[in-house]
Amino acid sequence: MDIATLVGIVSAFALVIISIMMGGGLGLFVNIPSLMIVVGGTLGATMVNYPLADVLGVFKVVKNVFFTKVWSTQEVVDRFVDFANKSRREGILALESEVANLDDDFMVKGLQLTIDGMEPESIREILETEIEYLEERHKSGAEILTTMATFFPAMGMIGTLIGLVQMLATMDDPSTIGPSMAVALLTTFYGAVAANLVCLPMAGKLKKRSQEETLVKEMIISGIVSVANGENPRVIEQKLHSFVPPTARESRFD
């Protein structure tokens, strides 16, 4: 669970709700027609803009905003130094026992290809292709959320226009002015909240998650290719440290 994301969303909505409660009551800001226009209109427009499978898939991608398990860069460095030491002492086939203890499918795939005797550059090509399509999937999820963030305020504006038309059309009946204005203003409010407190922050977090995951996977590729080439553990550590900021580097050979 990503605490920053959870705290950010909860605190943002809590402050908005508290401000509403201090100014009157929460019931004043609940309007079903406005919600139908904003939420229904946005989902409909998004499904027109993207294939249904992509729209449904974004909900699976969104879980990465809250739940993610990415290796730290230092863990990757330490793990490949250990792999290199074992490989040089006992041979590349000795890494077979390490594969069973790993829970990272990408690293397992790379190590298994190495154990199977595939050429290092062929291993790099296969793993880099996998990263490329991983980035594409993450990019698609963030793009859909960004598009929804565009549609939400637009649907809010449409709802505002609907409310204003209803109000102007019934000016002779004062009892209808209030409900019509509520639809007019609350749709804009709902659209702004959904776009700026949900969609845009989540899209930004997904982009950040993608960058972090890509960095770790690129480190894994470099480590696997180095192990496959039989390089010295110290050299491998230095190679992998090039991915890490100088202040975060911890050497096993000092």
- CA distance linking residue 145 with residue 149, whole number of Å: 6
Q: What local confidence, expressed as pLDDT, does residue 179 receive?
A: 73
Query: How does pLDDT run along the chain (254 residues), one tens digit per residue?
Result: 678 888 888 899 999 889 888 877 787 788 888 889 999 999 999 999 999 888 888 877 787 777 777 778 888 888 899 999 988 888 888 888 888 888 888 899 999 999 988 898 999 999 999 999 888 888 888 899 999 999 999 999 998 888 888 788 777 777 777 777 777 888 999 999 999 999 999 999 888 888 888 899 999 999 999 998 988 889 999 999 998 888 888 887 76
H helical segments located in the chain: 3-23, 32-35, 41-49, 52-66, 73-90, 96-99, 105-115, 120-169, 177-193, 200-228, 233-241
Q: Return the pLDDT at 254.
A: 63
pLDDT for position 208? 87
**What does the alpha-carbon distance between residue 203 and residue 144 come to, in Å, rounded to a whole number?**
8
The whole-number pLDDT of residue 170 equals 75
Predicted TM-score of the model (pTM): 0.79
CB atoms closer than 10 angstroms to residue 126: 14
Predicted pLDDT at 147: 94
Amino acid at 204: G
The whole-angstrom separation of Cα 252 and Cα 254 is: 6
Residues in the chain: 254
pLDDT at residue 1, rounded to an integer: 64
Per-residue confidence (pLDDT) for residue 146, from 0 to 100: 93
Domain boundary assignment for the chain = 1-30, 31-254
Rounded distance, CA 194 to CA 155, Å?
Answer: 11
Residue 43 tokens read as 């989902």
Tokens matching residue 105: 């499918």
Sign of the torsion formed by the C-alpha atoms of 115, 121, 124 and 126? negative
Give me the pLDDT at residue 57, please. 82
* CA 120/CA 226 separation, integer angstroms: 8
> For residue 226, what pLDDT is reported?
92
Q: What is the pLDDT of residue 253?
A: 73
- Dist. CA 227–CA 243, nearest whole Å: 17
Distance set, CA 50 to CA 142, 143, 156, 166 (Å)? 13, 10, 21, 32
